[in-house]
């Protein structure tokens, strides 16, 4: 697929929380269907980058340009409504878009089925495992058919096997329906599995894009950087 | 053999009832008839009363006053609580009203309501609603303040309109608070209705109670007290408990 249009552009974006500087004059451009891995140690502002894109917070200075369209967000914790069933959790954002309840639920059931959760549609979150909840969260984000998918350390609480399964699932989804993805993590192995571009954020506000050439060499470099 | 939880509860609750009746019986033997009727005398009086039309008339009048007062007070508290819980300015503006209503002695409101509305159902329902609304309001506001911020953020990202947020985020999030405040206001509602009826009506359980006292019909007086307790019990266990179980079913563990 040809990559042309700029989907997200950060121009000298600075973000402070009170007197604490988080992002310092950050500039980058993300093109359509890029799968960007944002890496860096904890506390460097990776989540803040996603929050800025999702309009959950505003920059202290600088400009953020992004195309209009739906945004899917997979959080570190699933953030499901505990009092609604799996199918309701996936269908509610669709209903928020104006899709009729019955159609939204049918669509949601389809996505749950793709995630291997068709038998658990009517279960409440409290009755499901952590991996299942995160798959529901992913189904909720993908069901919207978003222009941009933001993923904030989505599988950090899962075991290695489940994490690999989830990453394979995402890769399969992206090859079927390519979208622009920002995948934030402090674990290089995860990011390198799906990313087509890799950004590295450091504590001193340093930001750079690392070319993906030799993956094993890059992995070592990233592991050192994320320590 | 370990007893099933439910069976365990029934056995010990029944034992508790028998113990209460025993204490009542012992007290009634040691005290004069004019002070305390025995459980047997009370049961006889209750059976006699239940065979008359006027008993059911009083019961129906009080029941409808409790229902109307609790419904109006609960609904007002809920709606105003939603506004107060979601908007700090509204909450601060309503604070003096809440404080005034919750700290004014009950008897003052009863006297004022009797002046404004005269005797009868309007006065009783007004007093009940005005007493209960602040309790529900406080519970709704507190509940909304405790809603998980991360869930609200999720609803914001997925552009939930207000109606969807209210139905699927806010109301279910405060359902536990609402259910427990309903339990409290029903019990309180019955007490207020009876008090108001004693002071200013010509029908209802409160009026019948005051009539029994005037006639020194102590067994009838105790029979009416039993009816008051039964009324709260029926509403709590037949309506509110199943309702609470239904709205909180998502919390129940699977087998």
Q: Which of residues 126-155 of A touch B (CB under 8 A)?
A: 126-127, 140, 144
What residues of B are in contact with residue A132 (Cβ under 8 Å)?
A: none
Note whether A100 contacts B: Cβ–Cβ < 8 A.
no
Burial class (CB in 10 A: 0-12, 13-18, 19+), B18: exposed
- Cα A121 to chain centroid distance, Å, stands at 23
Element (H, E) at A184: strand A180-185
3-state secondary structure B39-106: HHHHHHHHHHHHCCHHHHHHHHHHHHHHHHHHHHHHHHHHHHHHHHHHCHHHHHHHHHHHHHHHHCCH
Query: Could you list the pLDDT tens digit for every one of the 227 residues in chain A?
Result: 445 588 999 999 999 888 888 888 889 999 999 999 998 888 888 899 999 999 999 999 999 999 888 999 999 889 999 999 999 999 999 999 999 999 999 999 999 998 889 899 999 999 998 889 999 999 999 999 999 999 998 888 778 888 888 888 888 888 888 999 999 988 888 888 888 899 988 877 778 888 777 777 777 777 776 66
pLDDT (tens digit, 9 = 90+) per residue, B94-147?
999 999 999 988 888 888 999 999 888 999 999 999 999 999 999 999 999 999
Number of domains in chain B: 2
Domain hosting residue B22, numbered range: 1-30
Note whether A92 contacts B: Cβ–Cβ < 8 A.
yes
Alpha helices in chain B (DSSP H): 5-30, 39-50, 53-86, 88-103, 106-117, 121-145, 149-157, 162-165, 171-200, 205-214, 218-234, 241-247
Shortest Cα distance, chain B CAs vs residue A144, angstroms = 9
> What is the chain B residue with the closest CA to A101?
B164
Binary contact (B251, A127; C-beta < 8 A): no
d(CA B58, CA B206): 9
Note whether A101 contacts B: Cβ–Cβ < 8 A.
no
Q: Are both B45 and B26 inside the same structural domain?
A: no
Binary contact (B172, A84; C-beta < 8 A): yes
Q: Are both B18 and B72 inside the same structural domain?
A: no
Q: Are both B225 and B192 inside the same structural domain?
A: yes
Axis-axis angle for helices B171-200, B218-234 (nearest 10)? 160
Q: What is the pLDDT of residue A13?
A: 92
Q: Can you list the domains of chain A with their CATH numbers?
A: 1-69+147-227 (3.40.50.300), 81-146 (no CATH)
Q: Are both B11 and B50 inside the same structural domain?
A: no
For chain A, report the end-to-end CA distance as a whole number of angstroms: 35
Q: Are both B149 and B80 inside the same structural domain?
A: yes
Shortest Cα distance, chain A CAs vs residue B155, angstroms = 8
Q: Are both B155 and B191 inside the same structural domain?
A: yes
Task: Give, in order, the Cα–Cα distances in Å from A37 to each of A30, A83, A191, B179.
Answer: 11, 33, 5, 46
CATH number for the domain that contains residue B235: 1.10.3720.10
DSSP class of A125: G
Q: Are both B157 and B99 inside the same structural domain?
A: yes
Q: Are both B90 and B185 inside the same structural domain?
A: yes
Which residues, 6 or more positions from B132, have their beta carbon under 8 angstroms from its beta carbon? B69, B70, B73, B74, B77, B185, B188, B189, B192
Q: What is the pLDDT of residue B2?
A: 54
Note whether B156 contacts A: Cβ–Cβ < 8 A.
yes
Q: In this predicted complex, what is the ipTM? A: 0.84
Q: B74 and B132 in contact (C-beta within 8 Å)?
A: yes
Note whether B173 contacts A: Cβ–Cβ < 8 A.
yes
d(CA A98, CA B161): 10
> What is the chain A residue with the closest CA to B165?
A96
């Amino acid at each position: 697929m040809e990559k042309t249009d700029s989907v997200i552009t950060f121009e000298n974006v600075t973000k402070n929380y009170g007197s604490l500087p988080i992002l310092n004059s950050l500039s980058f451009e993300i093109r359509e269907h890029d799968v960007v891995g944002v890496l860096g140690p904890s506390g460097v502002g990776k989540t803040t980058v996603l929050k800025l894109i999702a309009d959950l917070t505003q920059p202290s200075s600088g400009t953020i340009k992004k195309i209009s369209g739906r945004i899917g967000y997979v959080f570190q914790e699933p953030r499901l409504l505990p009092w609604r069933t799996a199918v309701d959790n996936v269908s509610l954002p669709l209903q928020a878009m104006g899709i009729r309840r019955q159609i939204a639920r049918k669509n949601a059931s389809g996505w749950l089925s793709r995630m291997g959760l068709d038998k658990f549609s009517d279960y409440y979150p409290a009755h499901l495992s952590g991996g299942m909840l995160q798959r529901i969260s992913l189904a909720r984000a993908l069901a919207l058919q978003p222009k941009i998918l933001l993923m904030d350390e989505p599988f950090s609480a899962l075991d290695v096997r489940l994490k690999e399964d989830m990453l394979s699932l995402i890769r399969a989804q992206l090859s079927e329906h390519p979208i622009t993805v920002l995948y934030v993590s402090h674990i290089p192995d995860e990011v390198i599995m799906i990313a087509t571009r890799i950004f590295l954020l450091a504590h001193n506000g340093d930001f750079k894009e690392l070319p993906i050439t030799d993956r094993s060499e890059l992995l070592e470099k990233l592991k050192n950087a994320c320590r | 053999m370990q007893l099933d939880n439910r069976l365990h509860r029934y056995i010990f609750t029944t034992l508790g009832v028998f113990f209460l009746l025993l204490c009542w019986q012992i007290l009634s033997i040691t005290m004069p008839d004019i002070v305390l009727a025995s459980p047997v005398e009370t049961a006889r009086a209750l059976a006699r009363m239940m065979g008359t039309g006027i008993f059911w008339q009083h019961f129906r009048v009080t029941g409808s006053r409790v229902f109307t007062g609790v419904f109006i007070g609960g609904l007002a508290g809920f709606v105003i609580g939603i506004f107060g819980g979601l908007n700090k300015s509204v909450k601060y503006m309503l604070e003096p009203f809440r404080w005034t209503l919750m700290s004014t002695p009950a008897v003052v409101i009863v006297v004022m309501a009797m002046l404004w509305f005269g005797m009868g159902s309007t006065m009783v329902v007004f007093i009940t609603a005005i007493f209960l609304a602040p309790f529900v309001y406080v519970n709704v506001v507190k509940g909304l303040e405790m809603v998980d911020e991360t869930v609200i953020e999720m609803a914001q990202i997925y552009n939930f309109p207000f109606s969807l947020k209210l139905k699927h985020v806010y109301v279910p999030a405060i359902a536990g608070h609402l259910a427990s405040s309903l339990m409290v206001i029903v019990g309180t509602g019955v007490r207020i209705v009876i008090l108001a009826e004693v002071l200013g009506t010509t029908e209802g359980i409160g009026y019948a109670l005051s009539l029994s006292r005037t006639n020194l019909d102590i067994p009838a007086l105790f029979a009416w007290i039993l009816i008051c307790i039964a009324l709260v019990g029926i509403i709590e266990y037949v309506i509110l408990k199943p309702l609470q179980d239904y709205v909180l079913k998502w919390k129940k563990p699977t087998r």
